[in-house]
Amino acid sequence: MSEIEQFRSRARKWLAEAGIPGVPLDLEERFAVLRDWQRTLFDAGWMGLSWPCEAGGQGLSPRHQFVFAEELARAHAPAPIGLIGLDVVGPSINAFGTPEQRARFLPPLLSGEEIWCQGFSEPGSGSDLASLRTRAVRDGEDYVVDGQKVWTSWGAYADWCALLCRTDPAAAPKHAGISYLLVDMTSPGITVRPIVQMTGDPEFCEVFFDGVRVPAANLLGEENGGWRIALDTLSRERGNYTMRRRVEIEWMLADAVAQLRAIPESRRADPRVAEEIGKADLALRVLEAQTRRTLDRLTADTGADPLDSIDKLVLNDTEQAVCAAIAELLGPFRVAPGTSPLGLDAGRWVHDHYYSRAASIYGGTAQIQRNIVAERLLGLPRG
């Protein structure tokens, strides 16, 4: 048995004995359950598998991390709550932070003791991120931050924020004057206003900064060097998230098929079942083919790569195709609670279908990803 298969066997055995938590639909209850679950995973040594040991991780490869994600999904176990920190912010802190910053921020990020959000998008500066207007002015040993962020996932629950802000308004090009600050969300002057999505969850937030003082020691990298770090953060978001989400969607479809198989054969003989499940499975096979080399890129840790944008585009289409196929099988139960005649849990699948509509927006819109592919892979001129 290979080392990676031994690892898989050990993970499968642990998960079989771990006591997998149920995940409530209510957002606040879900957050508490998943935070406790992250601590359980951390205490058992399953967090930060591909992180270096000096950063609090296990020093293994991205392939080990992917295998564990597969086993989580296979066991119908949820992902931990702190994925913004784990998949996105944490690797950038590890790559660009000082030894003091890594020692301070990474261990509680891994354990779920501290949850992170991203302060990137702004009103009018979402897709065109370099046009952001939130300002940070140096004042002695602090930066003073004023501005607004929006679409900040988990902003109402986060302990820390990875904040992009403008520290040189006169810089040209405009991305050259951006810095990356690590901001305590309990700081005076921060106001968080949740935004209720069509799923019913207030997961997104507006975040206002009014004279917020941030220690200069919380500058990640160099002043006015934040754009490079932001690109690293976004690249990790797309690559890591695509691999993990692909596994979750695989098992999402497997759950739907299991529910369909639990009903009498005469009911699942409806021709719509084979048609919609076939569409969903085809979309997943396309995503699987697309991401065959993604693990190699993550293992090589080559940094920002325009190929991540292709992965993200295919993931967008796949997530929406799978969820739309299952929603189609709900029929009128898409707008009525309960279990559909085909045995599908309407509440769960409607929630997932609504959530999937954001797939082509978060992490960089589909339009932005196509621009990246056109300019950086195909060499086309800017429009």
Provide the 10 A C-beta neighbour count for residue 173: 8
Q: What is the pLDDT of residues 327-377, one digit of tens each?
A: 999 888 777 666 777 888 888 899 899 999 988 887 778 888 898 888 888
User: pLDDT at position 62, please?
Assistant: 84
Helix (H) or strand (E) holding 181: strand 178-184
User: pLDDT at position 368, please?
Assistant: 84
How far is 335 from 122, CA to CA, in rounded Å?
33
User: pLDDT at position 271, please?
Assistant: 84
Q: Alpha helices, DSSP H only, in 215-361?
A: 226-261, 265-268, 271-290, 294-300, 307-330, 346-356
Interaxial angle between packed helices 62-74 and 226-261, expressed in degrees from 0 to 180 and rounded to the nearest 10: 30
How far is 147 from 135, CA to CA, in rounded Å?
6
User: What is the distance in angstroms between the CA of the first residue and the CA of the last residue of the chain?
Assistant: 53
Whether 303 has a pLDDT exceeding 70, the answer reads no
Residue 237 is among the residues annotated as catalytic for this protein: yes
User: pLDDT at position 238, please?
Assistant: 66
Instruction: Report whether CATH 1.20.140.10 matches the domain 228-377.
Output: yes
As a whole number, mean pLDDT of residues 239-263 equals 85
Q: Which fold has domain 116-224?
A: Butyryl-CoA Dehydrogenase, subunit A; domain 2 (2.40.110)
Architecture in CATH for domain 3-111: Orthogonal Bundle (1.10)
How far is 47 from 188, CA to CA, in rounded Å?
32
Helix (H) or strand (E) holding 115: none
Select from 129, 5, 126, 146 the least CA-distant residue to 64. 5
What the block records as the tokens of 79 is 């992902």
Helix (H) or strand (E) holding 93: helix 90-96
pLDDT above 70 as % of the chain = 96
Check 71, 114, 237, 276 and give the catalytic one. 237
Indicate the pTM of the whole model. 0.87
Whether 202 has a pLDDT exceeding 90, the answer reads no
Confidence of residue 113 (pLDDT cuts 50, 70, 90): very high
Domain boundaries, the chain: 3-111, 116-224, 228-377
User: pLDDT at position 302, please?
Assistant: 63
